[in-house]
Structure 1
Amino acid sequence: MDNVEIVIFAGGVGRRMTGSKRPKQFLELSGRPIIDYTIEKYATHPQVTRIVISCLASWISYLEHWLIGRHYSIPIDIIPGGATGQESIFRGVSHLRNQHPGDMDAIVLIHDGVRPLISEEAISACIESARDRGPTATIAQASETIVLMDEEGRVTDVLPRSRCGLARAPQGFRLEELYAAHLRANDERKGDFVDSISLMSYYGYDIYTVTGPSENIKVTTPMDYYAFKGYMEAHDQESLWKDSE
């Protein structure tokens, strides 16, 4: 089986999650940290062979202890994250690459620790696209009008919604290509890419897309947390109704 590996980056401290003493990825819902909902989606996916988590260093022991009780069946490595998302991703990619250097068929998916509402179908689609076409972004179709503005706030263009998407996660790549692009960015001291598809696009790669669930939000604010809570409660209610039929 080909290697399909996951980098979950969780090195942030969550400054926008006001009132919490925990980093956002370790806020709990129903007794579980948010990041575990994310991990579960990948640890139970039939194609995934390994996960590496680039974690906030001061929370590594907490996460290690938590995962002992979860008994996931695939290897999950936890390493210290970096000062930025880009650095955390590079550390995860480097760790995976060291497991099998030169494996040109290995696929890696990059995912935020605080995007727990991804689906198995979207993960599978991203893997397939990255393997068959190239660098792939999972998107949500835009549901509102998107405008371009100049520096003074004037609208310069109105974009058709049918051609607009919101870039989310996972983002899929061939491991060797993503690793090489990161090395180049490091050599050129370019450390401000907002995500991996931005990095790959900058270095000339075509980026493809697959559509994921619209609820696949990033939990970074209290409003996001309550939206996540609502989605989970709705899912539990739906399951309850199905079980009673």
Structure 2
Amino acid sequence: MNYALIFAGGTGQRMNTKTRPKQFLELHGKPILLYTIEVFENHPDIDGIVVVCLEDWIPFLKKKLSHYDIAKVIDVVPGGATGQESIRRGLDALETAVGRGHTVLVHDGVRPLVSDETISQCVASVAAHGNAVSVTPAIETIVQEEGGTVTNIIDRSACRLAKAPQCFNIGELIDAHDRARADGEEGFIDSASLMRHYGHELHTVATGPENIKITTPSDFYIFRAFVDARESSEIFGF
């Protein structure tokens, strides 16, 4: 079975909003996080969802889940001091609820434009290869620099941008977190980096360029444009 672990524990400082965290900013009256949850709620391959949320916002989120008739969320747990700790808390909740022998799709709560096709391909990749990391091609030149000087120009045809979902066996990902905790390693940027560090060969799944993470105000405007275009196509049949 396949479970989504949606991470929504950040405060969104780069959004320059003083009123609420970025995952709870609203478009057409609906928080970004709910757009993300609905993608997994409506996908036939997803059997359940755990959300990791800022503790003070859990009551608000639960009201929204009820309002939008979200049925697959099996738990909402408070985040930790770091993203790595927060994901571990979500994994603990999943292990308690369903055990270790299932697939987990770790996804950002502020990545609401992930497609059904990407989710399906990730599930298929885990079944075939044991894991899946969503990626897009690098479309601009990537350089390394030091002290304001370019030290290397990387062949972008060989480069990919790691996105989400990042998908693994629940038990294997928990084991990697346990090893990181024992080693005092608390700085992994995402699950793919953690699993790669502990020897797992990672397999990629192509995702669309629209699968953006809403981090800055300009990202929010792009998200709004996609949603408005989608709604127009549904209304007018474009």
Specify which of 105, 112, 116 is matched with residue 109 of structure 1: 105
Contact 1:27 1:34 in 2 (8 A): yes
What's the secondary structure of 1:12's corresponding residue?
coil
Q: Deviations for 1:212-234, whole angstroms, at most 9, x for unmatched residues?
A: 11011111111111111111112
Contact 1:135 1:200 in 2 (8 A): no
Q: Deviations for 1:30-79, whole angstroms, at most 9, x for unmatched residues?
A: 00000000000001110111100010000000000111112233243111
Specify which of 137, 142, 150 is matched with residue 141 of structure 1: 137
Contact 1:131 1:174 in 2 (8 A): no
Give, in angstroms, the shift of residue 100 of structure 1. 3.4
Residue 131 of structure 1: aligned partner: 127
TM-score (norm 2): 0.95
What's the secondary structure of 2:104's corresponding residue?
strand
Alignment root-mean-square deviation, CA: 1.4
Q: Distance in 2 between matches of 1:180 and 1:200?
A: 10
Q: Distance in 1 between matches of 2:124 and 2:186?
A: 29
* 2:87 is the alignment partner of 1:89: yes
TM-score (norm 1): 0.93
Question: Which moves more between the two structures, 114-123 or 77-86?
Answer: 77-86
Q: Distance in 1 between matches of 2:236 and 2:151?
A: 49
Residue 226 of structure 2: aligned partner: 231
Specify which of 189, 198, 204 is matched with residue 209 of structure 1: 204
Residue 28 of structure 2: aligned partner: 30
What's the secondary structure of 1:218's corresponding residue?
coil
Give, in angstroms, the shift of residue 102 of structure 1. 4.5
What's the secondary structure of 1:190's corresponding residue?
coil
Question: Which moves more between the two structures, 60-69 or 135-144?
Answer: 135-144
Q: In structure 1, give the amino acid aligned to 2:116.
A: E
Runs of at least 4 residues off by over 6 Å? none
Q: Distance in 2 between matches of 1:236 and 1:190?
A: 44
Q: Deviations for 1:119-139, whole angstroms, at most 9, x for unmatched residues?
A: 000011111112211332101
Contact 1:5 1:48 in 2 (8 A): yes
Q: Distance in 1 between matches of 2:24 and 2:187?
A: 25
What's the secondary structure of 1:156's corresponding residue?
strand
Alignment of 1:43-192 (within 5 A): 43-103=41-101, 106-149=102-145, 151-192=146-187
Q: In structure 2, give the amino acid aligned to 1:99.
A: A
Q: In structure 2, give the amino acid aligned to 1:128.
A: A
Q: Distance in 2 between matches of 1:6 and 1:72?
A: 13
Contact 1:9 1:89 in 2 (8 A): yes
Q: Distance in 1 between matches of 2:223 and 2:3?
A: 26
Q: Distance in 2 between matches of 1:102 and 1:84?
A: 23
Contact 2:100 2:169 in 1 (8 A): no
Q: Distance in 1 between matches of 2:110 and 2:95?
A: 24
Contact 1:29 1:229 in 2 (8 A): yes
Residue 197 of structure 1: aligned partner: 192
What's the secondary structure of 2:62's corresponding residue?
helix
* Structure 1 segments unaligned to the other structure (5+ residues): none
Q: Distance in 1 between matches of 2:138 and 2:32?
A: 25
What's the secondary structure of 1:16's corresponding residue?
helix
